[in-house]
Amino acid sequence: MSEINKYMLIPIVRVPGDSLFHRLHPLTKLAWAVGGVTMAFATRNPLVLGVVTVVGFVLLFMSRVWHGYLRFVLMFFPLSLSLIVFQSLAPAFPRPWVPLASIGPFTIYNEGIYSGLSLLTRAYAASNFSMLLVLTTHPGDLFAALQAIGMPHEINWILMTSLQLIPVVQREFGIVTSAQRSRAMKKRGFGALLPSMVPVFAGTIERVTQLSMSLESRGFGSKGKKTSLRRVRARAFDWVMGIFGVVVAVAVSYFTIANSAALDWSEVTFMPVWLAVVLVVGSAIAFVSFTGYYIVRAARA
Amino acid sequence: MAENIIVCQDLWHIYPGDIVALHDVSISIPQGQVVGVIGQNGSGKTTLVKHFNGLLKPTKGSVVVNEMDVGTHAVDELSRNVGYVFQNPNHQLFAKTVFDEMTFGPANLGLEEDVVQERAEQALEFFGLDRYRGTHPYRLSLPLRKLVAMAAIYAMRPKVMVLDEPTTGQDHIGMNTVRRLIEKLREEGDTIVLVTHDMVLVAQTADRLLVLCDSELIGDGAPREIFSGDEMMARTNLRPPQITQLSRRIFKPGLPEAALRVSELAEPLAKTL
């Protein structure tokens, strides 16, 4: 796992490797990412979305880039379970809702379970395929590939810089926190926000100002064709994989949209009542425990 | 001999990925000593000094600062005794005014309000920052921000001050302010650890130099002794101050062999002319 990813909450830097996905053309991987996100938003059916999520995890595992991403997933999974909890109690669906069970003053609705699971699996389905692109692709390669297909140089650069700026800001945040702790700052959580965030943002603004001057001094924005140190060549295999990815994404999306009525299980009790109760209660316990742990930790700091 | 305030015993630090940054370092620093830590980039200088306030914990071995084991104490506890001035002042400055910046550290230590005010005033006065007291730190130039960062740590009055590249980017006045700070802290009996590439600074202020090379401590002695070690200096790719190099090159009886200041060589040399 790359050094930078170890210190980052959200890993968004390429993890060095030689997997099949690492060696694919950046545009092929971009097509897979777009396809994955499209499939994630083409349906609300949790089963379909769950399959897409699992496929994404499998691809991340096979590419050996899942360590840092898994850390993020495990940390935020309890938080994301709140989607199930809150949706179950107040579904994002038009009334009337079908009650499944009551726990004290709370009523669990079938539409809520469906909606919660749908939102949860959609988030991870889209995220998995997006991270597969980010974790296996050098920004420079993606930059060169997008430029080759005619994307404007400036827009291309904005996208690439955004990807690279975030890990820099995260690293800066770690350094600033160390600096303030060296001044006996005990506070964590909200109390530490100001001493920690002001130097980070001020530093970022200064860096961006200087970067823009540096870029102008080095001819950024000049007219004419740009060359690139990094060259990316598409092999036949890249085309095959790209077409395959697009075909699968289009087929799945078409299938789910064309059969949206049949796949809409919101009006069907698709889960045993006992399982629904266990799911909601378990999610609530995990979410409250996770939130409580961080509140207590912040209060003790 | 003064009691040791910092004791490193068989210290190793290994970063994730099996990167050995410190290899079996053992040193003892007595109270009141000015110690320069020198070496090439990547030799382990910053890694070593970050153990002193607990920002890094030993992988093997131990570091004890003022009888507090660094491995079992938090950074905010250790910062009572060890003040660390980061190389980039922007990593520390966040308050609306320079004066507020001075009060942050002492307030975190739980000092009474009148003591916090007094410390802030003294820090401003010593560093010549009084006229900037109401200024936003980010409106100051980088060298001035560096002084603000140092003053903010000084206001905490730690027993040990670690200065990471204190003269980088400083003009002549700034450099003199840093030298005055070191001398004043020495008079007050504080310990100073300088991490620097400024050989002139350490030659003129340090009692002792620690030389790091490839994560190992390869030299520990007075500046004159260290700068006279040709083999060691060649190994670290460091060069002594120019005046030291000159004095060694033109050495003859009646002249100092390894002068650390211009005045050390100028007067005897003038007599021979």
What would the two tokens of residue A178 be?
Answer: 């160390």
Cβ A175–B86 below 8 Å, yes or no? yes
Contact list in A for residue B76 (CB cut-off 8 A) is: 181, 184-186
Residue B67 clears pLDDT 80, i.e. is over it: yes
Interchain CB distance below 8 Å, B92 and A184: no
Measure B78 CA to nearest chain A CA, in Å: 8
Please state, for a pLDDT cut of 90, what percent of chain B lies above it. 65
Rounded to whole angstroms, how far apart are CA atoms A111 and A117?
10
Q: Could you give the ipTM of this predicted complex?
A: 0.78
Contact A202 B75 (CB under 8 A): no
How far does B61 lie from chain A, in Å, by closest CA?
A: 22
CB proximity A186 to B under 8 Å: yes
A226/B contact by beta carbon, under 8 A = no
Nearest to A182 among B16, B53, B90 (CB): B53
What single letter denotes the amino acid at residue B271? K
SS3 state of residue B120: helix
Q: For residues B141 and B137, what is the distance between their CA atoms, to the nearest angstrom?
A: 9
**pLDDT recorded at residue A202:** 82
Closest CA in chain A for residue B100: A195
Tell me which chain B residues have a C-beta less than 8 angstroms from the C-beta of A195.
Answer: 94, 104
* A194 chain-B contacts, CB cut-off 8 A: 94
Residues 6+ away with beta carbon under 8 Å from B245:
B239
What is the Cα–Cα distance from B228 to B242, expressed in whole angstroms?
Answer: 13
DSSP string, A193-214: HHHHHHHHHHHHHHHHHHHHHH
A174 interfaces chain B, CB cutoff of 8 Å: no
**Nearest C-alpha in B relative to A207:** B90
User: Is A206 in contact with B75 (Cβ distance < 8 A)?
Assistant: no
Q: Are A216 and A154 in contact (CB under 8 A)?
A: no
What is the reported pLDDT for A247? Answer: 95
Cα B241 from Cα B223, distance rounded (Å): 10
Banded pLDDT at B17 (limits 50, 70, 90): confident
Q: Is the pLDDT score of B84 beyond 70?
A: yes
CB contact under 8 A, B92 and A194: no
Q: Which residues of chain A have pLDDT under 50?
A: 1-8
B90 with A183: Cβ contact below 8 A: no
**Residue B206's closest CA among B166, B148, B234?**
B166
Q: What pLDDT score was predicted for residue A4?
A: 39
| Pick from B84, B86, B94: CB nearest A195 | B94
Confidence of residue B181 (pLDDT cuts 50, 70, 90): confident
Closest chain A C-alpha to B131 CA, distance in angstroms: 23
CB pairs A-B closer than 8 Å: 67
Q: Which of A3, A186, A199 sits opposite B91 (nearest CB)?
A: A199
